[in-house]
Amino acid sequence: MGPGPINCYPRVLSAMSTQLIGQYDPVMTGYMNEVMSLYRDVFMTKNQATLLIDGTSRAGIEAVLVSCIEPGDKVLVPIFGRFGHLLKEIAERAGADVHCIEATWGEIFEPEQIEEAIKRVQPKVLALVQGDTSTTMLQPLEHIGEICRRHDVIFYSDATASIGGNPFETDKWQLDAVSVGLQKCLGGPSGSAPITLSERYVDLVRGRQHVEAGIKADHHNAGNGSRIRSNYFDIPMILDYWGEERLNHHTEATSMLYCARECAINLLEEGVEASIARHELHGKAMLAGIQGMNLAPFGDLRHKMNNVVGVYIPQGVDGEQIRHQLLHDFNIEIGTSFGPLHGKIWRIGTMGYNARQDTVLHTLQSLETLLRRAGHKLQAGQAIDSAFSVYSGKG
Amino acid sequence: MGPGPINCYPRVLSAMSTQLIGQYDPVMTGYMNEVMSLYRDVFMTKNQATLLIDGTSRAGIEAVLVSCIEPGDKVLVPIFGRFGHLLKEIAERAGADVHCIEATWGEIFEPEQIEEAIKRVQPKVLALVQGDTSTTMLQPLEHIGEICRRHDVIFYSDATASIGGNPFETDKWQLDAVSVGLQKCLGGPSGSAPITLSERYVDLVRGRQHVEAGIKADHHNAGNGSRIRSNYFDIPMILDYWGEERLNHHTEATSMLYCARECAINLLEEGVEASIARHELHGKAMLAGIQGMNLAPFGDLRHKMNNVVGVYIPQGVDGEQIRHQLLHDFNIEIGTSFGPLHGKIWRIGTMGYNARQDTVLHTLQSLETLLRRAGHKLQAGQAIDSAFSVYSGKG
């Protein structure tokens, strides 16, 4: 019940134990095409360029940024938690001239603040996290795309922590690039990073296309822009591997592709809206339960992600001791925190396969037991009653 | 029966469907330590820095190269096939001044040629493929480490295609960095890249350590060398994630870690020497069978890898048609080729789970059938008899 990685859906685990097939077997390339189509529905986009980066979610971030950033390009990163710092760091290493605005951890940005910074910095790219698990905040994105188009800025968002559990609409919100991971609300393991890219983004990076030597003797597409600084994350080459050209790049991580495929099928069978509603319900029940045991939630609750809650560790309680007992005695993991929140809050997730009534109730009962025994003042049973009130529609 | 990816060992497939555990659960960190220990035995090394890069085998290559190369550093790449071109390309994108020597495809380098080039170029790093599936050649490495130490050169090898099926001894051969993948003789899927690094290599990259912002408020290790150009492939940070520091970097790809662990356990239970002997036996049987059906093998057979053979497509036969029929009618895949060999040779693998007598015999029978029906001159049954001669010790 941490902020991810979380338990996988059993069907996703099973999918990974399917025997491999050859890299260019028509069944395999058919699966690749199917995965592209499935993730278009997950991302709510018509983008042709929708595919997997073989690595963890930060591999997806780095692929998107390093492929579009040429050294010296200005990038604007509004930071409201740890993962904003990560976007800044990755952009810097790609050679960007990075400009940041920062929000206090636990808060988000208003569109006006972002537009003001865009006007001032005039960046090529805006890189913005949607859901930052470090603070549990969900940055509203619906008005940002329009601002970016108006100022001719490429709009990229990392939605790893939020997708599937909170609304996300790539095309409607006019995003140019989105990257995610499987290990949060999609209910898979870390290790595959689905991305989607607008035509605008693809046109930009196609200008830097350089085909690998030794691949295709007669391929004269030498590119006219500066060479992308990474081979592994070179999106034009990855597009030619996933596209009709089928030019060899990496060897696709077949088992993780089966896994990413199953995560998407699982989500779409439930329905994106139904999945978001389920995350909202169990997130509300968890929050009510937390408040019911006399604990204070962290941050601006109007902008909390559905799938994770930050909880102030109460005075007089050893936060790490409670986490250890929860894991050791009850087999339940909850999360610690990073940076300025380290040692101050726990983070409790309700996501993917773990966004269920039984997991919420077990977690609340167990945490209440441990806090009572640690001397924290609470009214016994109030946490679980508060959660049940949410489930019965009275919360 | 292609040059990889190949069928997985069933136990490796099963391992991937194990339920996830939390990133810092003691069971998980215990598994990480166990994986480090297992791969020390696979690589035949005492290197503490032995771990997984979360990505395909070229992710391991890029991590090793981008972490040790500072822009302008000289790198020497002896190229004897496609994957030499890949090392060149990755080193160039990391900012290196890359110098190459080239061997004709189907041949390897003598140590004197490499030493002569080292004297001339005076590189910081020598990057050399051991087994290049594009040509089926196995570059002898046993005398190269001593040369590199004498000239103070960092010695890196990519042994993805060869490890587990051909001798490889990291410490004895004085290698500083090695990267591999699972999808060849280790019998797993692509998607995890085990690497091992000498103390010399680690000391070098520790000089470029820069801890990520937002991770540890009080961490003042700001580094004194130039910042590594990639966050995802920053080996000093990855070492601190796998080491006692347990500083958060990526979220380890848990299912692929289970998988890499099972690949190593499987290899070590068989025994590294026994696995190499098995690959040698079935490789010899396949080669004998190929020659028995009046087909010519490609390249210098004294330096062929045990686990793959190149086969000239005979005159008058449509190579792609045969490959299609093998897959469609017999459910057997063999490989096509890259670059200068494209359309000229097939590549047939006997590796990992597919290095077995039954798979060799089925492949030979099926290929013979298709070639006979396509009008290729051969003596019926000679292929299988030649293979049986190898198995009975008379080949």
**Phi, then psi, of A101 in degrees rounded to 5:** -120, 150
pLDDT, average across residues A306-323: 97
From the list B237, B88, B261, the residue with the least C-alpha distance to B158 is: B88
CB contact under 8 A, B229 and A190: no
CB contact under 8 A, B54 and A55: yes
Q: Which of A5, A89, A255 sits opposite B20 (nearest CB)?
A: A5
pLDDT higher than threshold 80 for residue A223:
no
Chain A residues in contact with B212 by the CB 8 A cut-off are: 85-86, 89
- Residues 66-95 on A with a CB inside 8 Å of B are 66, 81-86, 88-90, 92-95
Classify strands B97-102 and B74-79 as parallel, antiparallel or unpaired: parallel
pLDDT digits 0-9 by tens, A27-80: 999 999 999 999 999 999 999 999 999 999 999 999 999 999 999 999 999 999
Residue A309's contacts (CB-CB under 8 Å, 6 or more residues apart) are: A136, A283, A286, A287, A290, A297, A298, A347, A348, A350
**Phi, then psi, of B376 in degrees rounded to 5:** -70, 135
pLDDT value for A136: 98
pLDDT digits 0-9 by tens, A104-138: 999 999 999 999 999 999 999 999 999 999 999 99
CA–CA distance, A53 with A43 (Å, rounded to integer)? 15
pLDDT value for B23: 87
CA–CA distance, B60 with B80 (Å, rounded to integer)? 20
- Residues 173-192 on B with a CB inside 8 Å of A are 181, 183, 189-191
pLDDT digits 0-9 by tens, A151-198: 999 999 999 999 999 999 999 999 999 999 999 999 999 999 999 999
Please tell me which residue of chain B has the smallest CA distance to A230.
B93
> Any idea which residue has 């929708």 for tokens?
A50
pLDDT digits 0-9 by tens, B234-276: 999 999 999 999 998 999 999 999 999 999 999 999 999 999 9
pLDDT value for A211: 76
In chain A, the domains with their CATH numbers are 10-268 (3.40.640.10), 272-391 (3.90.1150.10)
Q: B212 pLDDT band (50/70/90 cuts)?
A: confident
CB of A133 within 8 Å of a chain B CB? The answer is no
pLDDT higher than threshold 80 for residue B375:
yes
Considering chain B, what is the average pLDDT of its residues? 95
Size of interface A-B (CB pairs under 8 A): 228
- What value of ipTM does the predicted structure carry? 0.95
Q: Which of B7, B227, B232 sits opposite A19 (nearest CB)?
A: B7
Residue B128's contacts (CB-CB under 8 Å, 6 or more residues apart) are: B77, B78, B84, B87, B114, B139, B141, B144, B155, B156, B157, B158
pLDDT value for B78: 98
Tokens of A123: 């960046």
pLDDT digits 0-9 by tens, A96-105: 999 999 999 9
Chain B residues in contact with A228 by the CB 8 A cut-off are: 93
Test mutation, B13, B20, B82, chain A, max A CBs within 10 A: B20
Distance from CA of A168 to the nearest CA of B (A): 23
| Number of CB atoms found within 10 A of residue A315's CB | 6
pLDDT value for A215: 61
CB of A254 within 8 Å of a chain B CB? The answer is yes
Q: In chain A, where does DSSP find H-type helix?
A: 10-16, 26-43, 57-68, 82-93, 111-121, 144-150, 199-206, 235-242, 254-270, 272-292, 319-330, 357-373, 382-391
Q: B225 pLDDT band (50/70/90 cuts)?
A: confident
CB of B149 within 8 Å of a chain A CB? The answer is no
pLDDT digits 0-9 by tens, B319-372: 999 999 999 999 999 999 988 999 999 999 999 999 999 999 999 999 999 999
Query: Which of A295-304, B224-233, B250-259 is the least confident region?
Result: B224-233
Distance from CA of B135 to the nearest CA of A (A): 12
Q: Which of B85, B227, B259 sits opposite A214 (nearest CB)?
A: B85
pLDDT, average across residues B204-229: 73
CB of B219 within 8 Å of a chain A CB? The answer is no
CB contact under 8 A, B62 and A230: yes
Distance from CA of A63 to the nearest CA of B (A): 10
Chain B residues in contact with A58 by the CB 8 A cut-off are: 231-232, 250
pLDDT value for B132: 97
- Residues 291-310 on A with a CB inside 8 Å of B are none
From the list A160, A194, A184, the residue with the least C-alpha distance to A32 is: A194
Distance from CA of A124 to the nearest CA of B (A): 20
pLDDT, average across residues B165-192: 98
Chain B residues in contact with A20 by the CB 8 A cut-off are: 5-8, 183, 189
What is the pTM assigned to this prediction?
A: 0.96
CB contact under 8 A, B81 and A214: yes
pLDDT, average across residues B131-155: 98
Q: What is the DSSP letter of A99?
A: E
Distance from CA of A22 to the nearest CA of B (A): 6
Q: A23 pLDDT band (50/70/90 cuts)?
A: confident
Q: A338 pLDDT band (50/70/90 cuts)?
A: confident
Cβ proximity of A259 and A192 under 8 Å = yes
pLDDT higher than threshold 90 for residue A222:
no
pLDDT higher than threshold 80 for residue B224:
no
Give me the DSSP letters along A131-190.
EETTTTEE---TTHHHHHHHTT-EEEEE-TTTBTTB---TTTTT-SEEE--SSSTT---S
pLDDT higher than threshold 80 for residue B97:
yes
Angle at A173 between CA A230 and CA A262, to 5 degrees: 65
pLDDT value for A221: 54
CB of B18 within 8 Å of a chain A CB? The answer is yes
Classify strands A137-138 and A131-132 as parallel, antiparallel or unpaired: antiparallel
CB contact under 8 A, A191 and B232: no
pLDDT value for B217: 52
pLDDT, average across residues A326-339: 95
Distance from CA of B214 to the nearest CA of A (A): 5
Cβ proximity of B374 and B317 under 8 Å = yes
Please tell me which residue of chain B has the smallest CA distance to A229.
B93
Please tell me which residue of chain A has the smallest CA distance to B326.
A25
Considering chain A, what is the average pLDDT of its residues? 95
CB contact under 8 A, B19 and A13: yes
